[in-house]
């Protein structure tokens, strides 16, 4: 079955749709409002819909797949090469339509549960960045008054209380209070980061099937390599021996096999070149033979 290729440039309120009618050859490039977007594809034959992988693309991809369509999400860098005109919604939809027809690695469509885990990771990453920025800001502000602390978070925690106490007699109270609040804010961020990590760990413990599948896959790889490569290579990888009943080969036998390739006392082999030497000519950039 041949699917009609449709390029969709998604946005907050108005989506741009580009496709070519396979029967009449008519080029359709029209805007569709957000409220009528799913209705536009509801009564159509299954299509291959291409979209850029951006904010909101995973949601629309899941909804369109539920309706029986095929969805191909592509990186924006890949689609950008097909935009040969000025950047607008119509040109972007046409570029997406052209990129959908090319062979490329598509972005996987994730489930809502997978998106939830990714959202937690992004929130944690954002909090870690904010914490680093706040630590650097606190260090920079205190350096302006001649107070330098050691490297690392532990050194900062040990020294910041004494530093603020020494500066309290020289600086205004409003600044000292603001610096203390910024220091206390680091503890709040630590608690938020720890809470997210505990939630991720709890979800992993409640869903051990993924870890079990991964371990089974690694065991399968190790068993296959045991049959193909032999015990010497597996001794280096250490994958198949975890599930193998046979003991590991001795190191002496491995060394003996590796030394059997060379004759004892034989001089090292050298390859002598019979080609004449060549001299470089700076003017021409070529080499000439030296007689």
pLDDT digits (tens, 9 = 90+) for 57-110: 999 999 999 999 999 999 999 999 898 877 889 999 999 999 999 988 899 999
- C-alpha pair distances (Å), 240 with each of 52, 133, 147, 244, 250: 42, 45, 56, 6, 16
Return d(Cα 180, Cα 89) in angstroms, integer: 49
**pLDDT > 50? residue 237:** no
Place of tokens 């029986």: 68
- C-alpha pair distances (Å), 163 with each of 19, 95, 111, 133, 141: 66, 58, 50, 20, 12
pLDDT digits (tens, 9 = 90+) for 254-270: 444 444 444 555 555 55
pLDDT digits (tens, 9 = 90+) for 107-165: 999 999 999 999 999 999 999 999 999 999 999 999 998 888 888 889 988 999 999 99
* Whole-prediction pTM: 0.63
Q: Are strands 278-281 and 27-33 parallel, antiparallel or unpaired?
A: unpaired
Return d(Cα 130, Cα 139) in angstroms, integer: 14
Q: What pLDDT does 138 receive? A: 92
Ordered structural domains, the chain, with CATH: 4-100 (3.30.420.140), 112-206 (no CATH)
Q: What pLDDT does 282 receive? A: 53
Tell the burial category of 75 from Cβ atoms under 10 Å away from its Cβ (0-12, 13-18, 19+).
Answer: middle
Q: Kindly indicate the confidence band of residue 203, based on its pLDDT and cuts at 50, 70 and 90.
A: confident
């Amino acid at each position: 079955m041949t699917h009609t290729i449709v390029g969709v440039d998604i946005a907050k309120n108005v989506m741009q749709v580009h496709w070519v009618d396979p029967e009449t050859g008519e080029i359709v490039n029209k805007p569709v409002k957000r409220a009528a977007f799913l209705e536009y594809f509801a009564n159509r034959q299954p299509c291959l819909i291409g979209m850029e992988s951006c904010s909101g693309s995973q949601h629309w991809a899941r909804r369109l797949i539920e309706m029986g369509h095929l969805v191909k999400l592509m990186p924006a860098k890949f689609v950008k090469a097909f935009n040969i005109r000025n950047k607008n919604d119509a040109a972007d939809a046409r570029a997406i339509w052209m990129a959908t027809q090319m062979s490329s690695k598509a972005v996987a469509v994730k489930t809502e549960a997978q998106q939830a885990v990714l959202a937690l990771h992004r929130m944690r990453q954002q909090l870690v960045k904010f914490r680093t920025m706040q630590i650097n800001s606190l260090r920079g502000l205190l350096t302006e008054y001649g107070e330098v602390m050691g490297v690392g978070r532990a050194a900062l925690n040990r020294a910041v209380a004494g530093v603020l106490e020494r500066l309290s007699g020289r600086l205004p109270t409003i600044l000292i209070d603001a610096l203390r609040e910024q220091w206390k804010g680091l503890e709040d961020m630590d608690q938020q980061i720890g809470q997210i990590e505990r939630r991720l760990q709890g979800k992993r413990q409640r869903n051990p099937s993924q870890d079990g599948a991964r371990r089974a896959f690694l065991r399968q790889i190790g068993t296959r390599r045991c049959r193909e490569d032999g015990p010497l290579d597996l001794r280096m990888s250490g994958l198949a021996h975890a599930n193998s009943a046979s003991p590991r080969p001795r190191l002496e036998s491995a060394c003996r096999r590796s030394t059997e390739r060379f004759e004892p006392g034989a001089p090292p082999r050298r390859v002598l070149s019979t080609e004449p030497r060549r001299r470089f000519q700076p003017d021409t950039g070529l080499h000439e033979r030296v007689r």
